[in-house]
Amino acid sequence: MNQLSSETFDKNAKAALADVQLRGALRHATSLFGKRRLEAARSLNNWEELRTHARAVKDEVLLHLDRYLETFVANAEKRGAVVHWANDGTEANAIICKLARDRNARTIVKSKSMTTEETHLNDALEAAGLQVVETDLGEYIIQLAHETPSHIIAPAIHKTKRQVAELFTSTLGMPPTDDVAQLTRTARATLRDRFAAADMGVSGVNFGIAQTGTIVIVENEGNIRLTTSVPRIHVAVMGIEKVIPRLADLDLFLKLLPRSGTGQRLTTYQSFITGTKRNVDDEGPDELHIVILDNGRSRMLAHPVTRQSLACIRCGACLNACPVYQQIGGHAYGSVYPGPIGAVITPQLIGFEKTAQLPYASSLCGACREVCPVKIDIPQLLLHLRSEITSNGSKRNATERIAFKLWAKVMVSPALYNLSSLAGRLIQKVMPLAPAWTRERDLRPIEQQSFRSLWKTKLSHE
């Protein structure tokens, strides 16, 4: 299993930079997504208004999340859904494994869900002796390759067409081809049988509507429709932040999400699921279970700056727009959620111990904030997390900490400032000042005469 850690971000990134195929795939996909997003946003004349409005809806929900969740749960239960609360990933996985065991469900189909990636549900199901098949094409590819998704909405974005063809040939016995239609047909044929045989379908949730208890899931392949309707049991896993107040709010988010994610005006399918089937003769699962997951989210909720992290609708636009992600892809982050939003939520979900490099994996260019459909100020969050990391008393940064203490002393004293500029001028004559800089870039030398000296001797008299 290709499992990278955030602790080794620097090393992972270097390996990614050396991978020519990966960089080609990333360059192609991120620029295409970026271009399509821009065109889709421009197709509406009120994009900025929609963003502002969507953020206001999210802020309102997050301010009264307990109330909206209670309403959502009450309405979902009224329609026959069974709601389970999970404090963390382990609890969520245990609930789902128990449901499967109690109901004698052996085979499980899954539709794409980052939340279940977060809880590592597949590992838990497999450890419980259950067979689980990912049914989203990208996720299926990843599962066959024993990898993890490298993008929030395009899990196999790092793979080229040729790599997928080779994978299908070796794992599914497909005759060698790089015809995309043939690849899709092969996956589809294999997956159809899995749907028919499955006892349980596990999905994520894009939106939970408090007013009606409805869960809404968007997709393009139809596999979610099948996952949530063919097996006799449907389990939907939903983060606490997914709830929105009213059905009428959905219009807003259905305009923003597909446009930001794939540049589509609307995804091919939108599934609205409200409770279980009304009559025994109706089609659809007998049971609907909704697992509502916290897993660190209420920590984000507690702080006024970090709260906005929960407004995220997982569109992936910030990944495509991020110059760092564009170069290294998602795996280098070593976290379930990669890219700018991943660098923001991962440390908050699992703590700084193994993730302290992530908030620094950004040039703070702000492209992520510019494309975010719910106006999350990701640079502000990165800066906030950096300040948390440095004030955590971690020993890792001892040298840096001392350097900044000295730096501050120099910057508040003109005498020390002038002295260090003199020192810099002298030192640069005998050794390079910044080896990390000069390996691949020339460094402009410190001027022989500073501006302040030029001002004193010349400019002020002109």
Partner 1 sequence: MKVSLFVTCLVDQMWTSVGAGTVAVLRRVGCDVEFDNRQTCCGQPAFNTGYRDEARQVAQRFIRIFEESKADAIVSPSGSCTAMVHHYPELFAGDKEWEPRARAMATRTHELSAFLVRVLKIADVGASWSGKLTWHDACHGLRDLNLKNEPRTLIRNVRGVELVELENAEACCGFGGTFSVKYPEISVAILDQKIEAIERSGVHAVVSGDASCLMQIGGRLSRNRSKVRVMHLAELLASQSL
Angle between helices 180-197 and 161-172 in degrees, nearest 10: 50
Report d(CA 343, CA 331) in Å as an integer.
12
3-state helix, strand, coil in the chain (%, to 5): 55, 10, 35
CA 186 to chain CA centroid, nearest Å: 29
Candidate list 32, 56, 63, 434; residue touching partner 1; CB under 8 A: 434
| Nearest to partner 1 of 1, 18 (CB atom) | 18
Are the C-beta atoms of residues 141 and 156 closer than 8 Å to each other?
Answer: yes
Does residue 283 belong to the site contacting partner 1 (CB under 8 A)?
A: no
Provide φ and ψ at 287, rounded to 5°.
Answer: -130, 140
Are the C-beta atoms of residues 425 and 444 closer than 8 Å to each other?
Answer: no
Angle between helices 339-350 and 378-390 in degrees, nearest 10: 40
- In the region spanning residues 10 to 29, those forming contacts with partner 1, defined by CB under 8 A, are 10, 13-14, 17
Does residue 404 belong to the site contacting partner 1 (CB under 8 A)?
A: yes
Binding track, positions 338-377, relative to partner 1; x by CB under 8 A:
---------------------xxxxxxxxx-xx-------
Does residue 35 belong to the site contacting partner 1 (CB under 8 A)?
A: no
Angstrom CA distances, 398 to 139, 358, 403, 437, stand at 41, 18, 9, 21
Does residue 396 belong to the site contacting partner 1 (CB under 8 A)?
A: no
Give min distance, CB of 414 to partner 1, in A: 5
Give min distance, CB of 384 to partner 1, in A: 9
Does residue 455 belong to the site contacting partner 1 (CB under 8 A)?
A: yes
Binding track, positions 286-325, relative to partner 1; x by CB under 8 A:
-------------------------------------xx-
Candidate list 280, 412, 430, 431; residue touching partner 1; CB under 8 A: 412
First-last CA distance in the chain? 69
- Give burial (CB, 10 Å; 0-12/13-18/19+) of 284: middle
Give min distance, CB of 30 to partner 1, in A: 11
| Nearest to partner 1 of 272, 455 (CB atom) | 455
Angle between helices 180-197 and 137-144 in degrees, nearest 10: 90
Does residue 266 belong to the site contacting partner 1 (CB under 8 A)?
A: no
Angle between helices 65-78 and 47-63 in degrees, nearest 10: 90
Give min distance, CB of 359 to partner 1, in A: 8
Binding track, positions 209-238, relative to partner 1; x by CB under 8 A:
------------------------------
Does residue 39 belong to the site contacting partner 1 (CB under 8 A)?
A: no
Question: Residues in the site for partner 1, rule: CB under 8 A?
Answer: 10, 13-14, 17, 323-324, 326-328, 359-367, 369-370, 380, 383, 385-391, 400-401, 404-405, 407-408, 410-412, 414, 417, 421, 424, 434, 436-437, 439-447, 449-452, 454-456, 459-460, 462
